[in-house]
Amino acid sequence: MLRIGIVGMGIRGMMYARAVNQSGVASVAAVCDVSERVRESAKVLGVPVYASHREMYEQTMLDAVIIATPDFAHREPAVDAARHSFHVMIEKPLATTLEDAAAIRDAVREAGVYGMVAFENRWNPAFVAAQDAVRQGELGAIQWINARLNDTIWVPTEMLSWAARSSPGWFLLPHLADLAVWLSGAQPRRVYATGIRGQLTTRGIDTWDALHIIVEFEPTMTAVFETAWTLPESMPNVFDLKFELVGDKGAQFINTQDQMVHQAGERWIYPGTLVREIGGRLEGFPIWMTGEWLRGLAAGQPVGPSIEQGYQITQLCWAAHQSAETRQPVNLDT
Ligand SMILES: NC(=O)c1ccc[n+]([C@@H]2O[C@H](COP(=O)([O-])OP(=O)(O)OC[C@H]3O[C@@H](n4cnc5c(N)ncnc54)[C@H](O)[C@@H]3O)[C@@H](O)[C@H]2O)c1
């Protein structure tokens, strides 16, 4: 059995603990979190709980580590994990600065460990269907992509304690950008963005409310991305993810906000169906992603979106923020 450590035991860390322990090829050997309150609740796992990743890395034999700290806090635990020769799966975004992303990329390369970025939508059945259609030539060459991933204002104001140190462009855009590159095979070359601020800053969270981003790709393709953190809380689902791919032979229209069930009651809601507990196990695309990563490690093979791909998406997201700030287009390195 592979021995896995988890850094950051918030929403995602606890989900990963279940995914690892039900995988059949790995188990959680230790976890850590800087918050005492979170450490207390992580004791339910019955493994050592450390206050820092350094302590955990020094004192536990591990094969691989999952980094599930806030967006801006991936660098230190990821770089130190690579230096300890642990394989790593790192939450998206890889980092929120180009310097941090490059440091992680270089550390993983130098150590020769397997690194993966958790772009879980590559395991989401809707996008797997899109990839099948693209591969089978049903859509032809992709001409443009129109995509939005927005959250209700509950996410930055209630769910995340660190929203001011992130933005919709770091928390949400990486999903859209990775899907665009993965599905089309085209490479992003130039980014134009604009955005608005106001609702969140009024509430003391100094970040973008929304960003609108246009990206030019090579070979010729354009994409329009929308990411926002200020949808009304009365929305039927906490997120709104829509993704349209238009090719020269066909098009696909994906709507994962609609989770197939519409429920009336005190409010009109779309209860989540894509990640659920079934027969005592957690099932759904993040769990399948984790299982495939672990089976790959057990077989001695890297799986999934590489750190290099994570770096490319970080560059695109960085360019979006840069462009929105300066009101100038930003060219991406080739
Ligand atoms: N792949 C996805 O689709 C997806 C979905 C949601 C969140 N995420 C990403 O997962 C990451 C975690 O998000 P979350 O929702 O679980 O956040 P969270 O705030 O619930 O959990 C983060 C935890 O990390 C801890 N932490 C902070 N700094 C630390 C450090 N240096 N060492 C150890 N622990 C530390 C915090 O105390 C907190 O308990 C973020 O990067 C987020 O964008 C990814």
Report the separation in Å between the CA atom of 246 and the middle of ligand 1, taken as the mean of its atom positions: 34
Can you list the domains of the chain with their CATH numbers?
Answer: 2-113 (3.40.50.720), 122-270+312-331 (3.30.360.10)
Report pLDDT for 225. Answer: 98
274 CA distance to ligand 1 middle (Å): 21
Q: Residue 115 Cα, ligand 1 centroid: separation in angstroms?
A: 18
189: its two tokens: 């070359």
- Evaluate: CB of 171 within 6 angstroms of ligand 1: yes
* CB of 123 closer than 6 angstroms to any ligand 1 atom: no
Query: Is the C-beta atom of 176 inside 6 A of ligand 1?
Result: no
271 CA → ligand 1 middle, Å? 23
Q: Report in angstroms the alpha-carbon separations of 250 from 7, 138, 143, 222, 256.
A: 43, 6, 10, 16, 20
Residue whose C-alpha is closest to residue 57's, from 36, 38, 29, 19: 29
Token pair of 295, please?
């089976």
Q: Is the CB of 20 under 6 A from ligand 1?
A: no
| Pocket perturbation via mutation, ligand 1, pick of 7, 11, 124 by most ligand atoms within 8 A of CB | 11
- pLDDT tens for the chain, 334 residues: list them: 999 999 999 999 999 999 999 999 999 999 999 999 999 999 999 999 999 999 999 999 999 999 999 999 999 999 999 999 999 999 999 999 999 999 999 999 999 999 999 999 999 999 999 999 999 999 999 999 999 999 999 999 999 999 999 999 999 999 999 999 999 999 999 999 999 999 999 999 999 999 999 999 999 999 999 999 999 999 999 999 999 999 999 999 999 999 999 999 999 999 999 999 999 999 999 999 999 999 999 999 999 899 999 999 999 999 999 999 999 999 997 6
Whole-prediction pTM: 0.98
Beta carbon of 69 within 6 Å of any ligand 1 atom: yes
Q: Does the CB atom of residue 324 touch ligand 1 within 6 A?
A: no
| Per-residue model confidence (pLDDT) at position 334 | 66
CA distance linking residue 221 with residue 33, whole number of Å: 42
Question: pLDDT digits over 280-325, tens only?
Answer: 999 999 999 999 999 999 999 999 899 999 999 999 999 999 999 9
The pLDDT value given to residue 333: 78
- Residue 68 Cβ inside 6 Å of ligand 1? The answer reads yes
Q: CA dihedral defined by 71, 72, 75, 81, rounded to 10 degrees? A: -50
Q: How many A from CA of 173 to the centre of ligand 1?
A: 17
- Cβ(174) – ligand 1 distance below 6 Å: no
Per-residue model confidence (pLDDT) at position 146: 98
191 C-alpha to ligand 1 centroid (Å): 27
